Amino acid sequence: MGEDKAAVWDGGACGTKKHSLKFKLSLSYAVMALLLVASVSLISNLFFRSQFNRYMIRQQDAKNREIVSQISRQMVQNSGSSRAQALETVGVSALERGVIVKVYDDSGRILWDATAHNGGFCQQMLKNMAEEMQSRSPNFKGEYEEKKYPLMSGVKRIGTVTAGYYGPFFYSANDADFINTLNHVLFGVGLGSLVLAVLLGIYMANRISSPIAHAIGAAENIAKGNYREKIPQASGTLELDRLTASINRLSDELQNQEVLRRRLTTDIAHELRTPLAALQGNVEALIDGVWEPTRERFESCHEEILRLARLVSNLDRLARLEDENAGLRLSEVDLTAAAEKAVRSFEAERMKKKIQVSVSGPPVKIAADADQISRVFVNLLSNALKYTPEGGAVRVTLSEDEKNAAVEVSDTGTGIAREDLPYIFERFYRTDRSRSSRSGGAGIGLAIVKAIVEMHHGTISARSAVGKGTVFRVVLPRNQP
């Protein structure tokens, strides 16, 4: 249903290449993952190198102090030639560990010097160490360094040791292997994370783009007039589920509107056909001489003409009310007085059917069009009286709050089926499928009421139960914007 290709070419003059949402999401996940993995790996490597270098410096200092401690013990334990022999042993051992030692007594006289013992070896050792460090870290800048440490016997200073080494630190072969291994691990982890991120990106992109593709397909089907197909709402993403739910509701609403449109065409044809057929039959009978041209025959034709005129007048009124440019002649309207006036206009019908009609509630005044509000009461009361059986009751109840006024017109009539309630404000909609003239008018009254209420920025709703009656509730703002 959606665009499965990674890219399509725009048909415009520039021929712009357009990529699908799935491709863009996958690519963005991959780029983001690549940047994150590279950043984390680089930062981790730099941080580790920094910490490891500090560790090597501390290790070098610890090595120097260990050598100094050995020399201190030899200085205390030996004297004369045995001391010189012991110092040479320690010095050679230190030289093998990469440390060039010079030992001085407390007067500054040199007791042992590694450079004097084997200067060529010392130079070669430093050269080899520099070359090895350059091969392992080309940007490393090292040089020969010396540090002085005191020789102590208890609290007494007995001499000084100068420890020279290639610094600030030196990687041995084991150290270099450890760093290389760690870099390989970081690279492997980064590569694996990248692959997982790309796979996750493709999965998430598919989860996001698939519902959108279904939505596009459903929208295309709606555009073609196919309203039956629905989109499954199982994406697990709130916004996508709301999108699919909205399109599904749109499809249902358009399907209902299509049904209503077809029914409207049928209903209009029926409403026009009935009086026209009666007129045609009457006139043809008069022309053929079947009927005498009496007053009663002409009155019958006149009634059908009036019926057509009322239908056209109601349609014209509804069209004018629904016109966006239609205006209101605002004035202060007493809803209670308007309701009582409408009740009095139905006095004859009320008495004929012995229906009790009451108006209750405080005086409620709003800014509205008095003529239009009167029509709302007339249409609602006419509808209530029409469907309320003999001996029933119709009540008009008014209330208000700080912002709105509310009117409820309730009856004890036949009621409206639940499946019909959503459509009772549509043009020509009648719950009586037989459309007998005895059951009501053309089905425009409630549509007119709704149009008037919405012109006043109000709302109208209905609740009903079959056999128990119906309640229409109108809410109008007390002041028009």
Domain at 346, CATH number: 3.30.565.10
28, 163: one domain: yes
Whether 234 is covered by a domain: the verdict is: no
**Average pLDDT score, the chain:** 80
Can you tell me the distance from the alpha carbon of 311 to that of 444, in angstroms, rounded to the nearest whole number?
Answer: 9
pLDDT (tens digit per residue) in 371-403: 889 889 998 998 899 889 999 999 999 999 888
Tokens for 408, please give them.
Answer: 């409820």
pLDDT (tens digit per residue) in 243-281: 888 888 888 878 777 776 776 666 667 667 767 877 788
CATH number for the domain including 294?
1.10.287.130
Whether 227 is covered by a domain: the verdict is: no
| 8 Å CB contact between 157 and 106 | yes
CATH number for the domain including 48?
3.30.450
Residue 143 pLDDT level (bands cut at 50, 70, 90):
confident
Sign of the Cα torsion 284, 286, 290, 296 reads: positive
Q: How far is CA 38 from CA 31, 32, 118, 193, 377, in A?
A: 10, 10, 48, 10, 74
Q: How far is CA 68 from CA 81, 99, 345, 479, 480, in A?
A: 19, 11, 121, 97, 97
333, 473: one domain: yes
Query: Which residue in 204, 213, 247 sits closest to 5, CA to CA?
Result: 213
303, 344: one domain: no
Percent residues over pLDDT 70 in the chain: 85
288, 433: one domain: no
Whether 216 is covered by a domain: the verdict is: no
332, 316: one domain: no
Q: At what angle do helices 295-321 and 445-455 cross, to 10 degrees?
A: 30
Whether 224 is covered by a domain: the verdict is: no
Tokens for 227, please give them.
Answer: 């309203």
Residue where one domain finishes, among candidates 321, 346, 381: 321
pLDDT at 435: 42
Q: Which domain holds residue 164?
A: 23-183
Can you tell me the distance from the alpha carbon of 56 to that of 450, in angstroms, rounded to the nearest whole number?
Answer: 86
Q: What is the mean pLDDT of residues 19-44?
A: 78
Residue where one domain finishes, among candidates 139, 165, 183: 183
Tokens for 196, please give them.
Answer: 């997982």
346, 436: one domain: yes
pTM of the model as a whole: 0.46
- Residue 434, SS3 per DSSP: coil
Q: What is the mean pLDDT of residues 149-176?
A: 83
61, 120: one domain: yes
pLDDT at 266: 67
- Is residue 6 predicted with pLDDT exceeding 50? no
66, 169: one domain: yes
317, 337: one domain: no
Residue where one domain finishes, among candidates 161, 183, 205: 183
pLDDT at 271: 65
122, 257: one domain: no
Residue 434 pLDDT level (bands cut at 50, 70, 90):
very low
103, 121: one domain: yes
36, 171: one domain: yes
Amino acid type, 193: S
- Residue 430, SS3 per DSSP: coil
Whether 375 is covered by a domain: the verdict is: yes
Whether 246 is covered by a domain: the verdict is: no
pLDDT at 436: 44
- Is residue 192 predicted with pLDDT exceeding 70? yes
User: Count of domains in the chain?
Assistant: 3
Sign of the Cα torsion 41, 43, 47, 50 reads: positive
pLDDT (tens digit per residue) in 219-231: 887 777 776 777 7
Q: What is the mean pLDDT of residues 165-178?
A: 77
pLDDT (tens digit per residue) in 60-113: 888 888 988 998 888 888 877 788 888 888 888 888 888 889 999 888 888 888
Can you tell me the distance from the alpha carbon of 179 to that of 279, in angstroms, rounded to the nearest whole number?
Answer: 105
Whether 348 is covered by a domain: the verdict is: yes
Whether 192 is covered by a domain: the verdict is: no
Query: Which residue in 377, 417, 416, 418 sits closest to 396, CA to CA?
Result: 377
Q: What is the mean pLDDT of residues 419-434?
A: 71
